[in-house]
Amino acid sequence: MLILKFGGTSVGSAERIKNLAELTKGQESKIVVLSAMSGTTNALVDISRALYEKNTKKAEELIDSLENKYKKEINDLYKNEAILQKGKELIDFHFQYIRSFVKFPVFTSKEEKILLIQGELLSTAMFHYYLNETGEKSVLLPALDFMKTNEDNEPDLPYIEERIKEELHKYPDATFFITQGYICRNAQGDIDNLQRGGSDYTACILGAVIDAREIQIWTDIDGMHNNDPRFVDKTHPIDELSFDEAAELAYFGAKILHPTCILPAQKRGIPVALKNTMQPEAKGTLIGNIKTPDGIRAVAAKDGIYTVTVRSGRMLLAYGFLKTIFDIFEKYKTSIDVITTSEVAVSLTIDNPDNLDAIVAELEEIANVEVAKNQTIIAIVGNIAKNEAGYGAKILNAFKNIPLHMISYGGSEHNISVVIDSKHKKEALQSLNSGLFGY
């Protein structure tokens, strides 16, 4: 079985949805995982913000404008009158529901999460109806029936495996399944999501639990590039990546993949192919248990980082001090990405500031603490053998005009991380592009 995931741009218009029907043709059984049409989840986030602010007028305007887009797409999508009618009823149903939140007396994160899943519910039903019009048989599986996170907000793999297999068994003759990316239930059974970009995660989780032949992530670019094309002029796609390399790039900001989506595929050894819907013949990137060439292969940048520097004379020659510090982060379930140490100080980075004040308060009981926000981690990824000379010099040379806040080298043979102020990110990526890749 194959998993085919199509992102927002790939389902972004009636034309694109028609194109999907072509791309997904073929004999092999498949589950097609869809995101919301591009712009929809952002619009739902904006609507939620307006509702939090009790700005009813703005919320209504945003809802109207989103609904108009869907009404237009529906008219372009279906020729068959009966199916067009079904499409219209679908749009009416979801937009009446979205509008009901404007009148609802409270708006909390619970209501927001319900709003945020509407985009994927719409896109999957629209595609399902379109296939119906073309005579292709498909089964629409509601992701809320099997996608679930556990108490730690991690995907509940045993549950998902059991439930999706039960669902698939209900349709022994079917070969074409469609489901929603991104959306799930949480440990309490409430509606939730796998964070922005989470459709990739749905695809990789499903691929892992059903032991798919391949997971294909179809998007708007021809694979993983050596650098972030949003910030750098010249980049090139990479044919092959190992799971480790892909996981590092995804985690450290290569937006083409959800930060943690590679892990389930890697665990079960399921290859992940990145493909371009606009250029299906392009090679794309294959990610797997692959021995890739030595050297630096790509860079990525992750924003929204906080650095916490903990300084204390008590660290000098003392053991157990680092444990005390890490225990505080663990207590607040806050994960640390990059760490550098000296004899009297430790600097570390976090990307989740929810408990930062409490963490700092506890750290201040034992040390001096300094926090910096608006930091960016630049990850330099590849096969970076520690016994080979030259990598450090090349990297540092690329940063010669940019202040470095932290540098972490040697923890992994696949990643060298550098922390800088976010205002220097573009310059850093550009400079690494010339220094490491000759652009």
What's at 222, amino acid-wise? D
Nearest to 43 by CA among 119, 121, 111: 119
Indicate if the alpha-carbon torsion angle 26, 284, 257, 205 is positive or negative. Answer: positive
Residue closest to ligand ADP, measured at CB? 7
Q: Rounded distance, CA 180 to CA 92, Å?
A: 19
Task: Give the nearer residue to ligand ASP in terms of CB position, either 38 or 324.
Answer: 38
Tokens of 380: 């330099």
Distance (Å, rounded) from C-alpha 65 to C-alpha 53?
19
User: ∠ CA(129), CA(134), CA(135), 5° rounding?
Assistant: 95
Q: Which of residues 29-88 bind ligand ADP (CB under 6 A)?
A: 35
* CA–CA distance, 344 with 346 (Å, rounded to integer): 7
Among 3, 9, 129, 216, binds ligand ADP (CB under 6 A): 9
Region binding Mg ion by CB under 5 A among candidate stretches 16-24, 191-199, 331-339, 393-401: 191-199
Q: What 3-state DSSP class applies to 73?
A: helix
The one of Mg ion, ligand ADP, ligand ASP, none whose footprint includes residue 41, by CB under 5 to 8 A per kind, is ligand ASP
- Does the footprint of ligand ADP cover residue 239 (CB under 6 A)? no
Pick between residue 35 and residue 324 the one whose CB is nearest to ligand ASP: 35
By the rule CB under 5 A, 207 interacts with Mg ion: no
Of the candidates 224, 219, 211, the residue with the CA atom closest to the CA atom of residue 265? 211
The count of chain residues that interact with ligand ASP, using the rule CB under 6 A, is: 12
Edge-to-edge, what's the strand order for the sheet holding 368-383?
Answer: 336-341, 345-350, 295-311, 368-383, 415-421, 406-408
Name the binder of 181 from ligand ADP, Mg ion, ligand ASP, none, CB < 5-8 A by kind.
ligand ASP
Q: Which residues contact 59 (CB under 8 A, 6 or more apart)?
A: 47, 50, 51, 101, 102
Contact letters (x/-) for ligand ASP, 136-175, by CB under 6 A?
----------------------------------------
Shortest distance in whole angstroms from residue 11 CB to ligand ADP: 9
- Specify the DSSP element, H or E, that contains 193: strand 191-193
Choose, by CB under 6 A, the member of 87, 119, 155, 197 that binds ligand ADP: 197
Specify the pairing of strand 214-219 against strand 272-276: parallel
Interface residue with ligand ADP among 59, 116, 246, 254 (CB under 6 A) is: 254
- Spatial separation of the C-alpha atoms in residues 130 and 60, rounded to whole Å: 29
Question: In the window 312-371, what residues touch ligand ASP (CB under 6 A)?
Answer: none
Q: Is 197 in the site for Mg ion (CB under 5 A)?
A: yes
Specify the stretch interacting with Mg ion by CB under 5 A; choose among 2-10, 19-27, 177-185, 386-394.
2-10
Is residue 199 a contact point for ligand ASP (CB under 6 A)? yes
Confirm or reject binding of residue 223 to Mg ion (CB under 5 A).
Answer: no
196 lies in the binding site for ligand ASP (CB under 6 A):
yes
Instruction: Tell me which of Mg ion, ligand ADP, ligand ASP, none is bound by residue 203, counting a contact when its beta carbon lies within the kind-specific cut-off of 5 to 8 angstroms.
Output: none
Pick one of 87, 181, 207, 264: the residue that binds ligand ASP (CB under 6 A): 181
**Residue 296 pairs with which residues in a beta bridge?**
382
Instruction: Give the Cα separation of 361 and 375 in Å (integer).
Output: 21
Residues at the interface with ligand ADP (CB under 6 A): 7-10, 35, 197, 219-221, 224-225, 228-230, 254-256, 300
